[in-house]
């Protein structure tokens, strides 16, 4: 019995617990216009797959959106949405938005997300949306069975496709 418990715990010592997922799209709008939209967390309600899963989710906001320290929190009865908050941690104006995600339900975790904008030319912008985190020992053993890129990547891409559709209609 002890061996059955010990084997996964020992194996977890050798499993990488960090993960990173990133997707990108090109939007037919100038870089500053795209950045000025994505830096506001409230706009995620329009394009993020996760925000759209539960339109009845209770949303709360603290601070000034589009500035460092702004917090957007959600509380949903749907298990795959759960409860948590995100906080703008850093803004590199016109270039990058860094956000800390603090999940509270159905599990507790702190992960990080970012969005970058890069001019392709004066009328096109490459937008990257990334997500990274770490599963602590011994939960990192789950990384052997879960492909975070396959789990999160399609949702990031759908969100970017939604973002592209919104901005290109404006």
119-165 pLDDT tens trace: 999 999 999 999 987 765 556 456 555 666 787 889 999 999 999 99
| CATH for 40 | 3.30.530.20
pTM of the predicted structure, to 2 decimals: 0.84
Write out the residue range of the structural domain in which residue 38 sits: 2-169
Q: What are the structure tokens assigned to 41, written together?
A: 């967390």
Question: What is the number of structural domains in the chain?
Answer: 1
Window from 8-22, 82-96, 125-139, 150-164 with minimum mean pLDDT? 8-22
Which of 46, 36, 140, 49 minimizes the C-alpha distance to 93? 36
Instruction: Tell me how far apart the alpha carbons of residues 15 and 22 are, in angstroms, rounded to a whole number.
Output: 21
């Amino acid at each position: 019995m002890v061996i059955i418990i010990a084997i996964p715990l020992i194996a977890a010592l050798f499993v990488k617990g960090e993960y990173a997922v990133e997707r990108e799209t090109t939007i037919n709008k100038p870089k500053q216009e795209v950045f000025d939209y994505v830096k506001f967390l409230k706009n995620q309600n329009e394009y993020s797959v996760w925000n759209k899963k539960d339109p009845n989710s209770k949303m709360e906001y603290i601070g000034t959106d589009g500035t460092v320290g702004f917090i957007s929190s959600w509380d949903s009865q749907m298990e795959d949405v759960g409860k948590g908050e995100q906080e703008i941690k850093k803004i590199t104006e016109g270039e990058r938005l860094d956000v800390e995600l603090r999940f509270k339900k159905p599990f507790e975790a702190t992960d990080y997300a970012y969005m970058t904008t890069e001019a392709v030319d004066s009328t096109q912008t490459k937008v990257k949306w990334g997500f990274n985190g770490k599963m602590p020992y011994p939960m990192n053993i789950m990384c052997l069975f879960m492909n975070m890129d396959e789990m999160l990547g399609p949702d990031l891409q759908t969100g970017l496709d939604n973002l592209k559709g919104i901005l290109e209609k404006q």
